[in-house]
Amino acid sequence: MPSFEELTQAAGELRNAYWQQIGELAPDVISHLINPAFMGGPAWPALRQAFVKVTTPTTMVLASDGLSDPYSDADTNPENAGYNGLGLEMYVETSEILSTYDLIMESWQFDVLYQVSQLAAQNGNLLGLLDNYQFLTTEIYANKVPDTFRNSAGRVGVILGLQSETRSNTLQGNLEEIRLVNTKLLTLDELEFVLEKKEKGRMELAELLIQQGNATLSDLTRKSVV
């Protein structure tokens, strides 16, 4: 049985290979000075919390890097031995390409990605929910998103699970398949549409966003589809 360190390294190499097929993977990961898990936040499978930047010919992708790490006890606990953590990584794709670490950390794109990544870590079974419902909508506190996207509670809406038409939405991990879960920022009208129409509205909205084109892209200037 490979050691935990070997399992984690193998998972990371496979994720990197996936992103390198899509664009230019920044050499350094993005992370906090102090692991948020030490400050009351949810723990990721191997504890390590990081993010990566990938620059494609036309977009920038920011993605979590660690939600699919093997569990920290994978080499000693048979119940966790066969899993690449939560089996997914979250990502946000945008037409705005941010050039520096500081710009990324202060951006609304990273704020959204960080919040949904923590949501995935806290929930623990986001993959199962996506399997059941195909798309999920939720509200998050993302303070760097402009006020025009916020509801009366100060939250913004996102839809999870829209898929790219130009690249694979999964990669083969060292222990199991890993899903790349897109997070798309919703306009306030779109959020209110889903809240009013619930599950039917969520499916209708997903279809409208797909028809609009660039389904995985989040943009502050995108026109609402409702």
CB atoms near residue 55 (< 10 Å) = 16
C-beta atoms surrounding 176 within 10 Å: 13
Dihedral over alpha carbons 182, 185, 194, 117 (to 10 degrees): 50
**160's tokens:** 């999870």
Q: Rg for the chain (alpha carbons), in Å?
A: 17
pLDDT at 79: 87
226 Cβ partners below 8 Å, 6+ apart? 189, 190, 193, 205, 208
Nearest 5°: the CA angle 196, 138, 120 is 160
Q: What is the SS3 assignment for 124?
A: coil
The Cα–Cα gap between 175 and 92 comes to 25
Contact 45, 70 (CB under 8 A): yes
Cβ atoms of 162 and 216 within 8 Å: the answer is yes
Q: Which residue from 205, 218, 26, 209 is spatially nearest to 116, judged by alpha carbons?
A: 218
Which CA distances in Å does 115 have to 106, 119, 193, 196? 13, 6, 22, 24
- Would you state the pLDDT for residue 7? 92
Bridge-based pairing of strands 177-185 and 217-218 is: unpaired
User: Two tokens at 146?
Assistant: 């402009």
- What does the pLDDT read at residue 129? 97
pTM of this prediction? 0.95
Average pLDDT per 10 consecutive residues for the chain, totaling 226 residues: 90 98 96 80 94 97 98 87 96 96 97 98 95 97 96 97 95 97 99 94 98 97 97
